Every structure is written in C-alpha cells, then in structure tokens.
C-alpha cells in the first residue's frame, strides 16, 4: 500500500513538501534583493512558519474528515440546497464564526463541505463568516480602534455572511438546481456510524485548530487565562481525538502509544517549541493512519488531496501579495503612501479603494487591527477603515485563487465583487454616521 501511494503521489509530495521547506528555512533576510522581491519572500516565509503547520494542516485534516466520515445526508440536511434557509444560513454563519480562522485557513474546510453537497449560498456564507466573524478580533477592534468600529464590524460581518450567501444562491440558482439533482443524497443509506461519534470526532479536530492558534487577548481577563492554558487544552483535545479514533475508527492502542509517547517526550525538551512538537505529532499520526489502511488511510489521502490542491496556490498567492503590497510596516511595489493618501476622508472612491486594496492584501488573524491603527493615525477615514475591516480579513489574493479552483472563476468573481461592493457601501454610510 505504501509503495502504491508513493508511486501515485510521490512526485507531488516531494514538490509540495519541498516548496514548504524551502520557504520555511530559506535565509531570505540575508539576501541582497530589491525591496519588493525581498518582501515577497519574507511574507511567504512568515506564512510558511506561522500558519501552515498550526493553521492549515489541522484544516486539511478537518476537510478530509468531513469528506470521508461525515454522512452526506447530514450535510444535505443542514447545508444542502433544499435545507430550510434559516437553518442553513444560521448553521453556516455560526460554525464559520466559531473557527476564528484567517482567509486561507478556512479554504480547505469550505472545499470539504462544498464537495460534500453544501449549497453554494450556505457554503459562501461559511466562507465569509469564518475569517470575518472572529470574537477576539471584534474585542480588539473595539478596544484599540473604538467601540463604534467594533460594533459596526460585528453587525456588518454577520449581515454580510447571510446576504452574500443568499445573493450567491439567487445569482446561480439554475446551476445550483442542476448540482442539487446530481448530489441528492436524501435516499442514500446511512453509513452506519452514529452522527454523535462523527460530531465528537470533528469537534476534537476543530478544537485543536482553535486552541493551537489562540491569540493573546491582553494581560488580564478570562481570555488571558484561557490563553495561558492553550497548549494544555490543545493536548487534551488531541488526546480526545486519539481516544475517539481508538474507540470507533480502527485505531489500535499501539498506534496511540506510537504517536502519543514521542510527542509527550518532545514536549518536555526545553527550547524545542510547540510548533516543532505539533509538526512531529502530525507526521506520526499520518504514519499510523496510513499503516492502518481502510477509512483511516482514506482520511489521510483525502486530507493530502486538499493540501495538494490548495497549498501551492496559497504560497504562490502570498508571494505575489508580498511583492505588490509588502508586509505590515514594509513596502512592496505599491508604496504605502499611495494607499494612505487614497483612503483619507469618506468619499465613495476612498471607501472603494480601501475595500479593494483590503481584498487583495493578506491579513493573518488579528493583524488587521494594528495595521488599521497605523493607517487611522496617518489620516485614514473611519468609513474606509470599516470597509477594509469588512473586506480585508475575509479575502486575499491567495484566497481568491483557491476559491476559483473550487467553485470556478465566474462564481469567484461574483463572491469577491459582492464583498467589495457591500464593504464599500457600508463604509461610506458609516462614514456619514
């Protein structure tokens, strides 16, 4: 089985893993390159080091689990084209908001639920709400940029997620009806595993993703207390995941020990770091999943399929975004002074420019707040600031490339256009208020 896998996927595995390692370990800061070229390399390196292992890898495993273990009747019941609209959009917006991920981390999960039969409307509502409705980001926005922007952001993000989903459904209703007929699983027999087991499985994976990427929420308060426990909570849910697949999915006690004991040992080594330990645990888990065969091997194969499709587009997109716009506080080909001068005041053009520029920039989770703090200090209007908050975290150039590979260029243009236009109009109105 291993030989067959390597024959089928060995070249792609070497290319994708090699590109990741290249960006991760490349001593880019030592290169004597023109500013924008260096910024592109450094942004791609930051992305590889800060987001791939802790953010994207768990997201790939979640997407793979959804495609293999989640009964398609459940997806169709809650998110399918024929699901009650209130239920579908409510589930999509709430579940997206719980994840609190960036515009790239949400993509594998979006691809997973869309591939399982979720309607275009609920799927795009989820796609927007995941990076846009972030509880900690809302709190930080209110604290740093003022309660007005914080309240406007949360209201705008919730309304946007539903409106965008509904409009996308209406715009492509005919193609969605045809797709619904080809993906009609209502008469399909259940896979035999209780839904509660699958929910506990997926919740464990989501909790690992959420707690491993939990951001600092200040020096005091309940969020600070949770932040201090983030790796204990991550480890607890990793153990929960191991017990779930041990009890119901064909894992063996020897497999659990082969994964858990080395990871626990690595965690005790001073200076090794949580990211390295997390990476080692992921590789060991992948090794044992492949060795088990059956559904567990299929889960690994599906997760790798999403990684192979998405990761090269993301790394390439981040590289281009860095070339054009640079990292926060640094300049790419487009000078930061141009951006600052274009978003002063509250004209419709300033709001549109802020929305459009935000749509193409890449914002790691929470970074939009300090960036906007600097822009506001340089003369950016409150309306354009809100427009950027509503468009920027939900979109990015690499995000658009991957969305197009999942739902096609035409639907991607419509989705991006809706976000930009709605953010522009909302920011413009807010600027007058």
Determine the pLDDT at residue 190. Answer: 45
Which one has a higher pLDDT value, 362 or 170?
170
Residue 344: phi, psi to the nearest 5?
Answer: -75, 155
Does residue 362 contact residue 397 with C-beta atoms inside 8 Å? yes
Q: What DSSP state is assigned to residue 367? A: T
Total Cβ atoms within 10 A of residue 256: 17
* Structure tokens that stand for 393 in this block: 């975290």
The predicted model scores a pTM of 0.77
Whether pLDDT at 189 is above 50: no
Determine the pLDDT at residue 188. Answer: 43
3-state secondary structure (DSSP) of residue 76: helix
* Structure tokens that stand for 329 in this block: 């506080």
What is the pLDDT averaged over residues 69-74? 71
- Helix 72-79 and helix 120-132, axial crossing angle in degrees, nearest 10: 80
Tokens 């924008």 -> residue: 36
Percent above pLDDT 90 for the chain: 27
Q: What DSSP state is assigned to residue 84? A: -
Cα 371–chain centre separation? 20
Q: What is the mean pLDDT of the chain?
A: 83
Determine the pLDDT at residue 96. Answer: 67
The string of pLDDT tens digits covering residues 110-158 is: 888 888 778 888 889 989 988 887 666 776 677 778 888 888 988 888 8
Give residue 296's pLDDT band: very low, low, confident or very high (50, 70, 90): very high
The string of pLDDT tens digits covering residues 355-409 is: 998 898 877 666 777 677 767 766 788 899 999 999 988 898 888 999 999 899 9
Determine the pLDDT at residue 119. Answer: 84
Determine the pLDDT at residue 32. Answer: 77
CA dihedral sign of residues 180, 402, 105, 10: positive
Distance CA 25, CA 48 (A): 9
Give residue 95's pLDDT band: very low, low, confident or very high (50, 70, 90): confident
Closest CA to 354 of 323, 322, 297, 395: 395
Does residue 325 contact residue 371 with C-beta atoms inside 8 Å? no
* Structure tokens that stand for 299 in this block: 């889960």
What is the pLDDT averaged over residues 403-432? 93
Closest CA to 63 of 242, 206, 207, 239: 206
3-state secondary structure (DSSP) of residue 238: helix
- Those residues whose C-beta lies under 8 Å from the C-beta of residue 370, and which sit 6 or more positions away, are 144, 328
Whether pLDDT at 187 is above 50: no
Does residue 388 contact residue 419 with C-beta atoms inside 8 Å? no
Give residue 308's pLDDT band: very low, low, confident or very high (50, 70, 90): confident
Distance CA 242, CA 409 (A): 39
The H or E element spanning position 397 is helix 397-407
Distance CA 117, CA 184 (A): 8
CA dihedral sign of residues 75, 5, 313, 141: positive
Does residue 272 contact residue 266 with C-beta atoms inside 8 Å? yes
* Structure tokens that stand for 96 in this block: 């997206």
Determine the pLDDT at residue 97. Answer: 66
What is the pLDDT averaged over residues 50-57? 86
The string of pLDDT tens digits covering residues 210-253 is: 888 876 655 666 767 777 888 999 999 999 999 999 999 989 99
């Amino acid at each position: 089985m291993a030989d067959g896998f390597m024959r089928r996927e060995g070249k792609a595995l070497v290319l994708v893993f090699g590109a990741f390692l290249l960006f991760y370990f490349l001593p880019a800061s030592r290169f004597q390159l023109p500013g924008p070229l260096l910024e592109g390399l450094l942004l791609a390196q930051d992305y590889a080091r800060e987001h791939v292992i802790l953010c994207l890898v768990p997201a790939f495993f979640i997407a793979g689990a959804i495609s293999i273990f989640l009964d398609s009747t459940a997806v169709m019941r809650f998110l399918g084209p024929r699901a009650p609209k209130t239920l579908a959009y409510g589930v999509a917006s709430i579940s997206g908001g719980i994840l609190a991920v960036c515009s790239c981390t949400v993509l594998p999960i979006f691809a997973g639920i869309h591939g399982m039969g979720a309607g275009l409307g609920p799927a795009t509502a989820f796609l927007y709400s995941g990076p846009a409705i972030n509880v900690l980001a809302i709190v930080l926005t209110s604290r740093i940029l003022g309660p007005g922007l914080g309240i406007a952001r949360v209201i705008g993000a919730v309304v946007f997620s539903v409106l965008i989903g509904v409009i996308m459904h209406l715009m492509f209703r005919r193609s969605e009806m045809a797709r619904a007929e080809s993906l009609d699983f209502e008469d399909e027999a259940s896979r035999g595993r209780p839904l509660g087991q699958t929910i506990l499985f997926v919740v464990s994976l989501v909790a690992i993703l959420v707690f491993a990427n939990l951001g600092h929420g200040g020096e005091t308060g309940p969020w600070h207390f949770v932040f201090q426990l983030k790796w204990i909570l991550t480890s607890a849910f990793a153990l929960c995941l191991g017990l779930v697949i041990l009890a119901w999915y064909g894992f063996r006690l020897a497999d659990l020990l082969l994964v858990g004991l080395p990871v626990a040992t690595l965690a005790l080594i001073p200076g090794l770091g949580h990211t390295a330990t997390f990476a080692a645990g992921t590789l060991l888990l992948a090794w044992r999943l492949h060795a088990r065969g059956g559904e567990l091997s299929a889960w690994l194969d599906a997760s790798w399929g999403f990684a192979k499709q998405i990761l090269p587009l993301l790394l390439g997109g981040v590289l281009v975004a860095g070339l054009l716009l640079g990292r926060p506080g640094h300049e790419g080909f487009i000078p930061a002074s141009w951006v600052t001068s274009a978003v002063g005041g509250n004209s419709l053009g300033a709001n549109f420019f802020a929305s459009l520029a935000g749509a193409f920039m890449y914002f790691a989770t929470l970074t939009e707040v300090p960036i906007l703090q600097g822009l506001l200090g340089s003369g950016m209007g409150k309306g354009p600031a809100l427009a950027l908050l509503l468009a920027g975290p939900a979109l990015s150039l690499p995000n658009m490339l991957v969305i197009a590979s999942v739902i096609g260029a035409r639907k991607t243009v419509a989705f991006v256009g809706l976000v930009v236009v709605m953010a522009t109009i909302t920011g413009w109105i807010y600027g007058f208020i």
